[in-house]
Structure 1
Amino acid sequence: GGEGEREGGRARERGESMAENGRVSIPDHPTFELDGLIRSCLSEDLGDRGDITSLATVGDSVTASGVFVAKEGGVVAGVEVAERVFAMVDDAGVSRSWSVKDGGRVERGDVIGTIEGKARSVLKAERLALNFMQRMSGVATLTSTMRDKLFGSGAKILDTRKTVPGLRVLDKWAVLLGGGTSHRIGLYDMMMIKDNHIAAAGGIEEALRAADSYLSEQGLSVPVEVEVETLDQVDQVLTYLRANPKTFLTRVMLDNMVVRRAEGGDGYDTSLLEKSVAKIEGKLETEASGNINLDSVEAVGRTGVQFISSGALTHSVRALDISLKLKTNAA
């Protein structure tokens, strides 16, 4: 294990940059419970019979050991979740040792952790543990890559609600571990007035007034964001702000203002976004959304916008390739 330990040590050194402020905790949520999620995922896998292949072919006294290895470079996330999976399957029967913490950076070949114990328990837990780690590490890695492209711009990269149903808290945790910033968790912790709400309320001013009234009546203090797509709508928002300085409104989402140039053209046109940011003059926070990807994010960062939200971070991310090599010894 000497070589593996050295690899893990190097990975740990590289990963220190992420943990500048120590451990990044799981996002707070009023109804989410990690153990409950893991229990439900295990029961999805084990059904009403359990792991019938292992029950048939692996003796009760057989032990197994395994090594989690990064098959490519990236940012690791999901270690704490994998740890809980093994703990819930057989805490006493499987020992775990992790050489990379969540948020740590790895290169191809780095050892992330090792497990050892009852083979049946290891085989029961390994796929679920890997699924969580690979997906979360993929999200963290893409977030980190996007954040690096914004270096020097001062803009922060945000996630969205375009997450896997049931896994939102983990998807958003992975974004934080990759150095991103969390947007609202759900529909309950921030008001976001989008085009459908504006249409239903009868206009931007009406929607903002209704939001302010509701929050005052309910005694709630949550931030309000409004979505706009044109300079005229930006003007309407600023007019409301001037007339209502005590509004709960804190941020404007500048939606679909990043346009891919026509065939043969180079890159993205961000001129409308730039004009909107200039018009707002820092009176409200600004957020760009729509068409945000690895190709466009750098240009978007140069417009002076403060936040950039990207559904791509979580809705269609590629898993980081992590393998678990197992060895069993029939006793």
Structure 2
Amino acid sequence: MLPPYLPASDLETLIQRALSEDLVSPAAGLGDRAEDVTTVATVPEGARAAAQIRAKEAGVAAGLEASRRVFRAADESVDVTWAVAEDGARVEAGDTVGRLEGAARGLLVAERTALNVMQRMSGIATATRRMVERARPHGAEILDTRKTAPGLRALDKWAVRLGGGTNHRLGLHDLILIKDNHLAAAGGVADALDAAHRYREMHDADLQIELETRTLAEVRAALEADEDGSGGPDIVLLDNMARATADGGVDVTTLREAVALVDGRFRTEASGNVTLGTVEAIARAGVDAISSGALTHSVRALDLSMSWEGVKRGGGERGR
């Protein structure tokens, strides 16, 4: 099932654009001809093949539905059968993730693009799942950010969902997030919050207001703006209040103080210095959520491979 922010038509457009990176190149001097020249030169047109996708390391298999659509976009005859229970399932090294049957040419054309999608999404989902497992026991959810690959935000955020994380804002349109540069332009916390509330009321917008704070003084300013219960943010972002330490850990003293100051009046989100090694300590500080840009901007792809099980040429079959 596709996430609500990725209509099937948008995914199809993304897939066609990705496939065209391999098949259309003005620099090749082929004019309008778009084909895999190696495959056309070496693989008979009627050949059919079977292949399997295997995990070469443990992780979370994600992007199954997206990659299935890549194979079908390359050749509608390709049949994909997944060996795992669902998109977002755990796999171990050596596990078969899925099997494919269909036109050999179609499989070869789609192979790299489909694996690129699966490997990136699986890497994001795996990193997310590992953070979720450390933060969730302490009541904190893991959020993504807008630090995604250009043009791939929907896939990146989909992968976070499949890993058990929660999508933060999708773009600049679905949350009022007042950051440091907005504060500088608006004249400070009180003025920025007042302007945000006026915008929301003027447009009758169903938007939450989140305020980034970098100091305890800014947290106090947010609380002062909310003295009557209507002028503060819905969420306060506590940025870099978990201080990195020389041993690779974090000092959460300031973060704990900020959470205590807020005392449940707003939702709290921590950001900055979030790694797999620090996320549990940050969660223990009592925040409601932890956002990590590294989930998508520094992803390491999960190692997956596709291997042939057999090729049928006319009446004969040739195994691996």
1:1-331 counterparts in 2 under 5 A? 25-28=2-5, 33-47=10-24, 48-91=33-76, 93-100=77-84, 101-243=86-228, 245-247=229-231, 249-262=233-246, 265=247, 267-326=249-308, 327-331=310-314
* TM-score relative to the length of structure 2: 0.91
Asked whether the equivalents of residues 258 and 270 of structure 1 are also in contact (C-alpha less than 8 Å), the reply is: yes
Asked whether the equivalents of residues 129 and 164 of structure 2 are also in contact (C-alpha less than 8 Å), the reply is: yes
Moved more, 134-143 or 27-36: 27-36
**How far apart in 2 are the matches of 1:314 and 1:70?**
21
Tell me the secondary structure at the aligned position of residue 54 of structure 2. Answer: strand
**How far apart in 2 are the matches of 1:281 and 1:49?**
61
**How far apart in 1 are the matches of 2:248 and 2:7?**
46
**How far apart in 2 are the matches of 1:147 and 1:185?**
20
Going from structure 1 to structure 2, the CA distance change for 1:30 and 1:255 (only over 3 Å counts) comes to farther
Tell me the secondary structure at the aligned position of residue 236 of structure 2. Answer: strand
Tell me the secondary structure at the aligned position of residue 56 of structure 1. Answer: helix
Tell me the secondary structure at the aligned position of residue 298 of structure 1. Answer: helix
Cα distance, 1:117 vs. partner? 1.3
Q: What does residue 10 of structure 1 align with? A: none
Asked whether the equivalents of residues 222 and 248 of structure 1 are also in contact (C-alpha less than 8 Å), the reply is: no
* TM-score relative to the length of structure 1: 0.88
Cα distance, 1:49 vs. partner? 2.7
Cα distance, 1:283 vs. partner? 0.1
Cα distance, 1:59 vs. partner? 1.1
Tell me the secondary structure at the aligned position of residue 207 of structure 2. Answer: coil
**How far apart in 2 are the matches of 1:31 and 1:200?**
39
| Paired residue type of 1:127 | R
Cα distance, 1:31 vs. partner? 11
Q: What does residue 9 of structure 1 align with? A: none
Asked whether the equivalents of residues 144 and 180 of structure 1 are also in contact (C-alpha less than 8 Å), the reply is: yes
5+ unaligned residues in a row in structure 2: which ranges? 25-32, 315-320
| Paired residue type of 2:34 | R
Moved more, 29-38 or 80-89: 29-38
Cα distance, 1:216 vs. partner? 1.0
Over 6 Å off, 4+ runs: none
**How far apart in 2 are the matches of 1:58 and 1:269?**
60
Cα distance, 1:249 vs. partner? 2.4
Asked whether the equivalents of residues 143 and 165 of structure 2 are also in contact (C-alpha less than 8 Å), the reply is: yes
**How far apart in 1 are the matches of 2:232 and 2:259?**
20
Asked whether the equivalents of residues 76 and 137 of structure 1 are also in contact (C-alpha less than 8 Å), the reply is: yes
**How far apart in 2 are the matches of 1:31 and 1:293?**
33
**How far apart in 2 are the matches of 1:144 and 1:309?**
13
1:68-121 deviation line (CA, Å, top 9, x unaligned): 111111111100001111121211x21211122201111111111111111111
Cα distance, 1:247 vs. partner? 4.0
Cα distance, 1:267 vs. partner? 2.1
5+ unaligned residues in a row in structure 1: which ranges? 1-22
Cα distance, 1:305 vs. partner? 0.5
| Paired residue type of 1:195 | D
How many equivalent residue pairs?
Answer: 304
**How far apart in 1 are the matches of 2:81 and 2:293?**
34
**How far apart in 2 are the matches of 1:251 and 1:212?**
13
What is the identity percentage for the equivalent residue pairs of Structure 1 and Structure 2? 49
